[in-house]
Structure 1
Amino acid sequence: MEPASGLPSCTVYKGAAARQKLREMSVPIELLIEAAQQGFVERMNAELPFDPVTAPGTDAWRYPVRVLRKALMELGWRIDNPRNLPLAISDEKKINVTVSSGDEFTGLEGVRQPRSKNPKGVLMEEAIARNTRQYDLFPGSLPIAVQKFDQTVKHKTWVFLIYITDEEIRAELSLPSSMDETDHVNRWAERILIPVSLPDAEVKGEPNFDEGPDIRRL
């Protein structure tokens, strides 16, 4: 799915602007850091060859979903799982948040935008239609499968995108705007970059959120 005509170019938030944007969304930046770090820990805790070979990747996604949704629910959000898409929903802010693994470009500025590691389903396609206002502007042009789930996803959907290796964690909270022909999210209208240190590096100080320009439109 391509973005609707006239969709703004990608806006990248970092530093103080990232903190401000997250405050506006009522998403604590410390919670995002904690969720990503928990994914790193559980990925490292997988015991191969005894665990399934998919355990490290699954746990690196599953535990951030748990940490994020549990904490947001305590802050007044609600949770739902339409067609197994795990959402945290703020009806007050009119936003959804879900979690996905990203590729090696996650959390980095540059010409190449990140891509979801795994293909997504029709609910993400519907979410992107909401995000880009295609439901409002071009309802008849949407695929029949997407039209079938009209109103299943009512708010804009942000993706907490995480990339984890043995040496680093990178993350961002971003607003998807298109999927490619293999159903991977490949474009984003807004990206909030979240610097995340390794858990055992926390004693060295918190990540510096004030380095570099605050907002960049690509």
Structure 2
Amino acid sequence: MIPDFAESEPRTAPDDASDALDQLDLTSEILLSAARAGVVQAKEITDFHPVTARGMTQWMETVASLRRSLDERSWTLGNPKNSPRAISPDGKTSIMVMGGDENTGSQTTPPQAARRRGPSTRDTMQCNGQEMLDVTLPLPRGWSDQEPLTWVFVYHWSRRAPQLQAELSLARDLDEDGRTFAWHHRILLPEQDLGEFNIPQRPAGPDFDIDFRIQELK
């Protein structure tokens, strides 16, 4: 599904996010509650855990909370190349979750990935570009007409203040560095105060695609 606003404007301001999300059968509450759920679990990580545990825990719990909430709205689960997605009931829209940099939610500078993304993300962005431009392009292996348009739920924990920045954005390309995105449209969400969680620093750790190669043993 390509809403009209995604074809005409580069971004939707936080005050107008609700109307834009409604066209995607989503709400700010669903998205922000998922991100906060990740914070709740990440705050339990201690210095005894591996250094990657806090960031990985936040990402995993955000994914799980979002997909659980959307399951109640008849969205389904998808895991292309082991990259977790939520897919709309009509199969035309999917959402993936990604940690972003300090520009997440900014009205002036678009965000980039906090950590390097892998080949499944790049393939998805290429498919997005194909659907938005409606031209013949070389497509990733395994692409089909059933490939949904994939939005990215981007979140960031600020280094400077206890706040959560987030947006739901439609990417059209990913550079070879695995971090630099070009965006079709960005729906900016209101910042969320996380002061009550008393967490001294932004989570650290990997946020990447995981590809498995399974071979039959002889």
**Structure-2-length-normalised TM-score:** 0.78
1:180 aligns with 2:196: no
Q: How big is the shift at 1:76?
A: 0.3
The amino acid across from 2:96 in the alignment is T
Q: How big is the shift at 1:130?
A: 2.1
Q: Do 2:164 and 2:194's aligned partners in 1 also have CA atoms closer than 8 Å? A: no
Q: Do 2:17 and 2:188's aligned partners in 1 also have CA atoms closer than 8 Å? A: yes
Q: Do 1:100 and 1:161's aligned partners in 2 also have CA atoms closer than 8 Å? A: yes
Tell me the alpha carbon deviations over residues 114-149 of structure 1, each in whole angstroms, 9 at most, x when there is no partner: 101122222222221221126952333x4xxx2x12
Structure 1 residues 87 and 153 mapped into 2: Cα distance closer, same or farther (>3 Å)? farther
Aligned length: 189
5+ residue gaps, structure 1, are 1-6, 202-218
Greater helix share, structure number: 1
Q: Do 1:80 and 1:89's aligned partners in 2 also have CA atoms closer than 8 Å? A: yes
1:81 aligned partner? 79
The amino acid across from 2:163 in the alignment is E
Tell me the alpha carbon deviations over residues 9-56 of structure 1, each in whole angstroms, 9 at most, x when there is no partner: 8611124421111011011211111111122222222111x1111011
Q: Do 1:164 and 1:170's aligned partners in 2 also have CA atoms closer than 8 Å? A: yes
Superposition misfits of 4+ residues, deviation over 3 angstroms = 7-10
Mapped to 2, the partners of 1:9 and 1:77 lie a distance apart of: 27
Q: Secondary structure at the match of 1:21?
A: helix
5+ residue gaps, structure 2, are 1-5, 197-218
1:133 aligned partner? 130
Mapped to 2, the partners of 1:185 and 1:89 lie a distance apart of: 24
Which has the higher relative contact order, 1 or 2, with Cα contacts under 8 A spaced 6 or more apart?
Answer: 1
1:69 aligns with 2:67: yes
Q: How big is the shift at 1:168?
A: 1.3
Mapped to 2, the partners of 1:165 and 1:105 lie a distance apart of: 10
Q: Do 1:102 and 1:117's aligned partners in 2 also have CA atoms closer than 8 Å? A: yes
**Structure-1-length-normalised TM-score:** 0.78
Structure 1 residues 16 and 169 mapped into 2: Cα distance closer, same or farther (>3 Å)? closer
Q: Secondary structure at the match of 2:190?
A: strand
Q: Do 1:40 and 1:164's aligned partners in 2 also have CA atoms closer than 8 Å? A: no
Q: Do 2:99 and 2:113's aligned partners in 1 also have CA atoms closer than 8 Å? A: yes
Mapped to 1, the partners of 2:180 and 2:60 lie a distance apart of: 19
Structure 1 residues 129 and 9 mapped into 2: Cα distance closer, same or farther (>3 Å)? farther
Q: Percent identity of the aligned residues?
A: 30
Mapped to 2, the partners of 1:197 and 1:183 lie a distance apart of: 28
Q: Which moved more, 1:176-185 or 1:27-36?
A: 176-185
The amino acid across from 1:171 in the alignment is A
Q: Which moved more, 1:164-173 or 1:17-26?
A: 164-173
Structure 1 residues 71 and 37 mapped into 2: Cα distance closer, same or farther (>3 Å)? same
